[in-house]
Amino acid sequence: MQPLLRGLAVTAQQLREDRILEEAAVTGGDPQHLCAVFNITPETGLRYTRFFHPDPTDSDEVSGCNMETS
């Protein structure tokens, strides 16, 4: 994959995060679905879900950058 991405303005990690966010948007932010499809932990799935359904009482701001930890 590295040779295919060489010279592009994005990294493989950024492309993966974008794909997960797109899937979350299409499925309504279902964390269980994201975990199954992308093999991520439940905590990570919930972080992507919060991008679309933020908790107003949550003090942590969720952004589309560097969201994935697993």
Across the chain, what does the average pLDDT equal? 81
User: pLDDT of 3-24, one tens digit each?
Assistant: 887 888 888 899 999 999 999 9
Q: State the average pLDDT over residues 25-42.
A: 93
- Give the per-residue pLDDT at 58: 63
Based on DSSP, count helices (H) and strands (E) in the chain, helices before strands: 4, 0
pLDDT at 59 over 60: no
- Give the per-residue pLDDT at 64: 45
- Distance, in Å, from the CA atom of 6 to the CA atom of 8, rounded to the nearest integer, reads 6
One-letter amino acid for residue 66 of the chain: N
- Biggest CA-to-CA distance, the chain: 44
Residue 19 to residues 25, 38, 41, 48, 64: CA-CA distances in angstroms?
Answer: 10, 10, 16, 11, 11
